[in-house]
Structure formats: C-alpha cells, structure tokens
Amino acid sequence: MAHISNIPNRLGSFIEFQLHSAELYRILSRSAQGDTDKRELEAFSKECKDTADLFSEIYKGMTSYRFEAHPDPIRESGSFRSVLRERLRRETAESKRLRIEYLRVSDNFRLKRALFNAFNDSLCRAVIISGILTA
C-alpha cells in the first residue's frame, strides 16, 4: 500500500509531466502536416492541461497548498516524426506510471478516477501518435 505522504509528491510529478506535454503538443501542432493531425495535437494539448488542472485541484485538496509546478522546459529537438516517436515512448511510460498509482490508491475515489482517466488518455494518445507515425 502506498504511503499517503508520498502521494502528493507523485501527484506533483504527474502535474509537471502533463504541463510539459501540453506545451509540447501545442508546439507540435504548428508543425503538423494535415488538418486532422493538427487538431489531434491541439486536442492533446488541451487534454493534458485539463488533466494537470484536475490533478492540481486534488493536490490542493490533499495538502491545503497550491502546487507550484516547474515542468521541464521544452528541449525536444529533431524532426516532427522523431519528436513524435519520443512522445510515443514517453506516453507509454507515463501510462504505466499512472496505472501503478491507480492500483495503489484505494481511499480517494476522486484521485483514483482522475488517475484512471489520465492513464486511459495517455494510452489513447499513444495509439493516435502511432497512427500519425504510420500514415
């Protein structure tokens, strides 16, 4: 069973990942070739930002403090496709982290539901990115 005191730290890590992802997808959407890919990447950006906001609300509810996010700066470089390949890898890894946390949490239904939704969203993004890469 997860120690309660560690949950806010892990939640902070998820918030920072989501914020970093939101900004990266916003930037990537500018380089997308087709309108469909552009819309998908813009939707990813909004989805990640919304997830970060929800996790931030939950964090505040757990700690009584507002989380001060310091996401990694956008440093990804290379071609559009190479950055997307890396995002595919990162989304897959993040989905695993979210799933593990989802399985650990038992007493906070709101957090559990948010983790499940974020896990599912991350997997869906990975599938869509895979489709963009194979098109």
Q: pTM of the entire structure?
A: 0.92
Q: Going by C-beta distance under 8 Å and a sequence separation of 6 or more, which residues neighbour residue 135?
A: none
Which pLDDT band holds residue 6 (cuts at 50, 70, 90)? confident
The domain covering 4-134 belongs, at the CATH homologous superfamily level, to Ferritin, core subunit, four-helix bundle (1.20.1260.10)
C-beta separation of 98 from 115 below 8 A:
yes
DSSP state of 73: P
- Please, which pLDDT band fits residue 28 given cuts at 50, 70 and 90? very high
pLDDT of residue 12 exceeding 80, the answer is yes
Closest-CA residue to 76 (of 20, 29, 127, 36): 20
Give the model confidence (pLDDT) of 87-119 as tens digits.
Answer: 999 999 999 999 999 999 989 999 999 999 999
Domain boundaries, the chain: 4-134
Whole-number percent of the chain with pLDDT over 70 = 96
pLDDT of residue 46: 98
How far apart CA 85 and CA 76 sit, in angstroms, is 11
Report the 10 Å Cβ neighbour count for 19.
21
Q: What is the pLDDT of residue 89?
A: 97
The phi and psi torsions of 70 (rounded to 5 degrees) equal -135, 70
